[in-house]
């Protein structure tokens, strides 16, 4: 038996929840921790995060891989390429009802306990706020995020069972 660590379940859970959202008529949104390794339009990043509408209607050439998520989408009417390392996905949820799953932030982003609380989404059973891309025209919203259900107005999610 090999001593190699098991591969992450994160990409599999993201794909499963994305499929669940799509199959049930919901709009899958990703909350992404942004650093130098993430390729997204920086003008839509707020507090080190971006929320992305990843529905098939809002994206082109969507690839939910084991290492990265890649697609093309329009932001403010301008087509852009997006590339997100899987470990930078903090959450995936259905925009319409907040059902989804949160993940730990990548280790480099969790420098201190306080910084980790600001960057990471750790609350799993609550309602998700309405953030990010507008599902009707697949363009990023320029409005600031609305306070969420978590402590301190942070976005929070409800567990899918």
User: pTM higher than 0.85 for the full model?
Assistant: no
What letter would DSSP give residue 44?
Answer: G
pLDDT of residue 69: 98
pLDDT of amino acid 156 = 55
Task: Give the per-residue pLDDT at 2.
Answer: 60
Question: In angstroms, rounded to a whole number, what is the distance separating the alpha carbons of residues 7 and 9?
Answer: 7
Contact residues for 127 (Cβ-Cβ < 8 A; gap 6+): 98, 148, 149, 156, 157, 158
pLDDT digits (tens, 9 = 90+) for 102-133: 999 887 665 533 444 444 433 333 333 333 33
Q: What are the E-state strand segments in the chain?
A: 28-33, 49-53, 60-64, 68-75, 78-85, 89-94, 99-102, 133-134, 139-140, 158-159
Beta bridge partners of 151: none
Cα angle: 31, vertex 34, 45; to 5 degrees = 75
Give the span between the Cα atoms of 130 and 110, in whole angstroms: 25
Residues with pLDDT less than 50, the chain? 112-153
The CATH class of 10-140 is mainly beta
pLDDT score recorded for residue 110: 54
């Amino acid at each position: 038996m090999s001593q190699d660590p098991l591969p992450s379940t994160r990409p599999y859970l993201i794909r499963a929840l994305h499929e669940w959202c799509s199959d049930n008529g919901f709009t899958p949104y990703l909350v992404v921790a942004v650093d130098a390794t993430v390729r997204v339009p920086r003008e839509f990043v707020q507090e080190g995060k971006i929320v992305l509408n990843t529905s098939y209607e809002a994206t082109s050439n969507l690839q939910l891989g084991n290492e990265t998520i890649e697609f093309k989408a329009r932001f403010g009417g301008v087509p852009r390429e997006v590339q997100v390392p899987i470990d930078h996905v903090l959450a995936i949820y259905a925009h319409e009802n907040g059902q989804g799953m949160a993940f730990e932030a990548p280790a480099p982003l969790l420098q201190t306990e306080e910084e980790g609380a600001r960057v990471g989404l750790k609350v799993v059973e609550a309602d998700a706020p309405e953030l990010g891309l507008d599902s009707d025209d697949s363009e990023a919203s320029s409005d600031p995020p609305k306070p969420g259900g978590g402590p301190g107005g942070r976005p929070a999610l409800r567990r899918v069972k």
